[in-house]
Amino acid sequence: MTIVVHHLEESRSQRVLWLLEELGLDYEVKRYARNPQTRLAPPELKAIHPLGKSPVIERDGKVFAESGAIIEYFAEHEAGGKLAVSASDAARFDYLYWLQFAEGSAMLPLLLKLYVSLLGEAGAPLMQMRVDPEIDNHFSFVNAHLEGRDYFAADRFTAADIQMSFVLDAGNNRGGLDRFPNMVRVRKLQQGRPAYQKALEKGGPYKMGA
């Protein structure tokens, strides 16, 4: 069962590589570079999936898209489900919560910060009144949750930690993460995992992981 990861540089695709390494799966990486001016994915990705975004995985003729869906599906179906939390486990809801929180709540203000910053001074009022306060609100919540914890759910490493890793990377990349020590601490623990390091080798340069 050949797995091919269509991997876009500096993207959510990096956490999918990490997932596959943690699961011990063999896979091939096809790398794609962003347009240097627009920072968008190249049109070649549209030949794999109509939206032309990454990550996209091909496996025996089936195409898997959306990093959250990929992470949840493979965590439950591979390696005996060791990175998932079973439906009978009391920690199941917390696990699902953090899987969904990463994209459902946390990434929106971070993306807004990226786009509003392109407006320069014209975007300053929106940044100050809405965007930065929303980031602080979400990060304060995450930081409090991680007090005394090394993992997001179930008191062990799960796919929820992999899903949340891009939030931590994006927060660090766009400034301000150093104000949330528990998030910084957990991010360093994540980066110290052997599978994380192997995924960096497979995926190539990843400045957001710096």
Domain count, the chain: 2
Phi/psi class of residue 149: alpha, beta or left (left: φ > 0; alpha: ψ in -120 to 50)? Answer: beta
Task: Give pLDDT tens digits for 96-109.
Answer: 999 999 999 999 99
- Distance in angstroms (rounded) separating the CA atoms of residues 202 and 31: 10
List, for residues 149-190, the tens digit of each pLDDT value.
999 999 999 999 999 999 999 999 887 899 999 999 999 999
Task: Note the pLDDT of residue 207.
Answer: 85
Task: CATH number of the domain at 117, please.
Answer: 1.20.1050.10
**For the chain, percent of residues with pLDDT exceeding 70:** 100
Handedness of CA 8, 192, 198, 3 (dihedral sign): negative
Q: Which residue has the tokens 């796919």?
A: 159
- State residue 1's pLDDT score: 66
Whether residues 101 and 154 share a domain: the answer is yes
The tens digit of pLDDT for each residue in 13-35 reads: 999 999 999 999 999 999 998 88
Same domain as 108, residue 170: yes
Q: In 10 A of CB 145, how many CB atoms?
A: 17
Specify whether 40 is located in the same domain as 78: yes
> Which CATH number characterizes residue 36's domain?
3.40.30.10
Strand partners, 57: 5, 64
Based on the domain organization, do 75 and 42 belong to the same domain?
yes
pLDDT score for 68: 95
Q: Are 85 and 92 in contact, with CB atoms under 8 Å apart?
A: yes
- d(Cα 108, Cα 106) in Å, to the nearest integer? 6
Q: Are residues 38 and 116 in the same domain?
A: no
Q: Which of 1-5, 49-53, 154-158 has the lowest mean pLDDT?
A: 1-5
Expressed as residue numbers, the domain containing 149 is: 92-193
Say if residue 96 is in the same domain as residue 173.
yes
pLDDT band at 210 (very low <50, low <70, confident <90, very high): confident
Q: Does 175 share its domain with 203?
A: no
